[in-house]
Amino acid sequence: MNKITLYNTLGKEKQIFTPITPNKVGMYHCGPTVYDYPHIGNLRSYVFADTLRRVFEFNGYEVNQVINITDIGHLSSDADEGEDKMTKAILREGKPMTLISMREIADHYYSAFRDAQKDLNIISATTYPFASDHIKEDIEMINTLLAKDVAYKTSRGIYFDTSKKDDYGKLGQAEGDESRIGEDSEKRNYKDFAIWKFDERLGYETPFGKGFPGWHIECSAMSSKYLGDSFDIHTGGIDHIPVHHNNEIAQSECAHDGAPLANYWMHNAFLIFDGGKMAKSSGTFVTIDTLKEKGINPLAYRYWLLTARYSTAISFSYEALEDAGRAYGKLIDSVTAILRKVKTTMSAHADTDTTDESNGDTRLESESEISKNYRNNLLNFINDDLDTPKAIALLWSLLKEIEMGDEEKIKLIESFDKVLGLKILEKAVEQKKKEESLEEDLPEEVRELIEAREKARQEKDWGEADLLRIKINELGYKVEDTGADSKPRISRV
């Protein structure tokens, strides 16, 4: 296997990745709390997780990817204070206060989350476990923690005793952390957190009282069920580090006799909106549908995210997304121009494809040295803690490369897109087919004007060519010179 280095929050450095099981990767990603539509800040975490998965699969790993769905137990403070977010959604939508209503809301917003993932070309995870389907696993883990005397009961719930974990908080703490839990005179330590919250109105019956699991215990129980007591990689936003992820580590490691929950912890930075992170609580969040309504392709948003490191905060603006949209469109145009010259789609290469088992990459049987250099550079960039900005810059260099055949370029572009997930070839093939269909249906008058314009251009009569372009435009068609080949692109005005 190729060497992959990842920045590990646990250790605060880049480390060479070594899997627990050779050639396999188990990954757990903190999923959405499905009480509202996902905003594009939330979705940055899943573009990051998807890119991570694509990098491993490009390198030939088999990936078991779990994205949990929180549909119960997540309090509004992200710690132990405030109202349950799903309960807030029930009240907001005027539904009866029942577990059935809670699941109906969860199913609706889970569907919206999955639609957003499709819009962003995010590969489906192996498993999407719902928290409310794993109460049995929560109870088992809580009983284990009680039996080990690292948890205790108060009038409000069952709490984890952080003093019993010497390295509690080893991922890092936020400034002002002392105020995050709130005052509770029954707690032994201010950092102690709830693993079960009592609620006589609504909840689940257990041996220790009716109520809900804590948000943190849900993730520990589900990750253990689907990935084992220890697994390779756990990801989430940087806001999860001081509370949620530290709490997961503490309760999981105590329940599993000190076995590490995950060997690598990776966190994406915020999407900055009006000076702070984008959040549903502000009521001003932007969704994928918002982008669509403004004419912004969701894949342009993905492209924009990939032009920055996942660990770097980026500031949202519609101007930035519009610029990204233009760049993405130019990318598709450039690949479409190459396809026009190749005069085939990728299916025509089927008999000459081979697969390099070491990285899951496809290529032509005969590959030039310059093509190999591009392929190696791509691998080096993405394997260096997912350096997608350099990979995108390399892709643009490839499109301008004059020392490489077009078929080789197409195969390389396919390799780039296995990691970037921008549907580059798919969109270029669609565009080429539309252009060909349009050309077949051109009125004879327009066809003659286009031919006359091409003759004027060949004779370098630019004034005449421009006049003919205007006449073509007046008839409802637009002619564009791609610069990539001599044939112009025709579209409707």
In Å, what is the CA distance from 168 to each residue of 215, 238, 243, 249, 270? Answer: 18, 17, 10, 8, 25
Q: Provide the edge-to-edge strand list for the sheet that holds 151-153.
A: 151-153, 157-160, 193-198, 211-213
> What percentage of residues in the chain have a pLDDT greater than 70?
87
Whether the pLDDT of residue 234 is over 70: the answer is yes
Whether the pLDDT of residue 434 is over 90: the answer is no
Whether the pLDDT of residue 175 is over 70: the answer is no
User: Which residues, other chains included, contact 201 with Cβ-Cβ below 8 Å and sequence gap of 6+?
Assistant: 97
Determine the pLDDT at residue 182. 52
Calculate mean pLDDT across residues 447-470.
86
Average pLDDT of the residues of the chain: 88
Whether the pLDDT of residue 354 is over 60: the answer is no
Whether the pLDDT of residue 346 is over 70: the answer is no
Whether the pLDDT of residue 351 is over 70: the answer is no
Whether the pLDDT of residue 75 is over 90: the answer is no
State the CB neighbour count (10 A cutoff) for residue 111: 11
Q: Are 153 and 208 in contact (CB under 8 A)?
A: yes
Determine the pLDDT at residue 137. 97
More confident residue, 455 or 22: 22
Whether the pLDDT of residue 352 is over 50: the answer is no
Calculate mean pLDDT across residues 25-48.
96
Determine the pLDDT at residue 355. 37
Handedness of CA 381, 385, 387, 388 (dihedral sign): positive
Residue 437: pLDDT band with limits 50, 70, 90 = confident
Q: Provide the edge-to-edge strand list for the sheet that holds 262-268.
A: 62-67, 24-29, 231-237, 262-268
Determine the pLDDT at residue 282. 53
Handedness of CA 123, 435, 401, 346 (dihedral sign): positive
Determine the pLDDT at residue 80. 61
Calculate mean pLDDT across residues 239-262.
96
pTM reported for the whole predicted model: 0.87
Per-residue pLDDT tens over the stretch 77-133: 555 655 678 888 988 999 998 999 999 999 999 999 999 999 999 999 999 999 999
Neighbouring-strand partners of residue 477? 492
Q: Are 90 and 39 in contact (CB under 8 A)?
A: no
Calculate mean pLDDT across residues 317-329.
94
More confident residue, 75 or 182: 75
Determine the pLDDT at residue 386. 98
Whether the pLDDT of residue 466 is over 80: the answer is yes
Handedness of CA 216, 217, 218, 223 (dihedral sign): positive
Per-residue pLDDT tens over the stretch 253-307: 999 999 999 999 999 999 998 756 655 555 567 999 999 999 999 999 999 999 9
Determine the pLDDT at residue 483. 53
Residue 465: pLDDT band with limits 50, 70, 90 = confident
Per-residue pLDDT tens over the stretch 177-219: 444 445 567 899 989 999 999 988 888 999 999 999 999 999 9
Determine the pLDDT at residue 1. 82
Amino acid identity, position 248? E
